Amino acid sequence: MLNIFARASVSRVLDPLGRALVRAGLSPNAMTVIGTAGAIVCAVVFFPNGMLLAGTFTVWGFAMLDLLDGAMARARGYGTPFGATLDATCDRLTDGAVFAGIAWWCFAVAGNLRAAAACLICLVLAQVISYLKARAEAEGLKADGGLIERAERLIIALVGTGLQGFGVPFAVEATLWLLAAGSIITTIQRMLAVAASAREAG
């Protein structure tokens, strides 16, 4: 949902930086890999060790690099099918690492089984929501939009870890249950969108 409203504003900010990085000799694919590797390492190192603030800010910083690959592709004047596939794959790896790291914190550090359950729900539905869109598009159907897309997913999860890191009790649990509910709604929204698209195509 944020993608619809924020894309133009974000592009205005990032496009000049994308052009500068392309002139410096970096490729969009390299930026994708750097951002993904950094986010994964930070998520699986900091969150399981209870370092919520360090995990929040470093994961967020590396996740922001994911926006730069698109800006760099626009600056270069074209994207590639391989680049799009790499980007989607890396997004799934980052999502998995972030929620796995938070789930580990919930189980091993906080001992909060309710939060851990919510985190596992978010982990599964994050993959399902993305798969739904990819599978629908492979069949020539549409499954765009929904309440919770990747940007919202990362924002909500990292707001929870950040607030908890600053000492707000139950922030992780509250935001994870909020995200789980939103993800369930989004899954239903996308299934309905696929059904509507199938009826139009038929």
Residues whose CB falls within 8 Å of the CB of residue 167, separated by 6 or more in sequence, listed in order: none
| pTM of the full structure | 0.90
Q: Which of 66, 69, 87, 91 is catalytic?
A: 91
Contact yes or no for 131/187 (Cβ under 8 A): no
Answer whether CATH 1.20.120.1760 is correct for domain 2-201: yes
Spatial neighbors of 80 by CB under 8 A, at least 6 apart, are: none
* Domain residue ranges in the chain: 2-201
Opening angle at CA 165, ends 130 and 98, nearest 5? 20
Residues 6+ apart with CB under 8 A from 114: 173, 177
Instruction: Quote the pLDDT of residue 110.
Output: 97
| Residue matched to tokens 């009826």 | 199
Render pLDDT for 37-93 as a digit per residue (tens, 0 to 9): 999 999 999 999 999 999 999 999 998 887 788 788 888 877 788 988 999 999 999
- Series of mean pLDDT values for 10-residue runs along the chain (202 residues): 54 77 85 94 98 97 84 81 91 96 98 98 96 93 90 96 97 98 97 94 78
Nearest to 114 by CA among 174, 25, 30: 174
Secondary structure (3-state) at 85: helix
Cα diameter, the chain: 54
Rounded Cα–Cα distance for residues 157 and 172 (Å): 7
> Quick check: 145 and 1 in contact, CB under 8 A?
yes
Q: DSSP letter string over 25-60?
A: T--HHHHHHHHHHHHHHHHHHHGGGT-HHHHHHHHH
Is residue 87 annotated as part of the catalytic site, yes or no? Answer: no
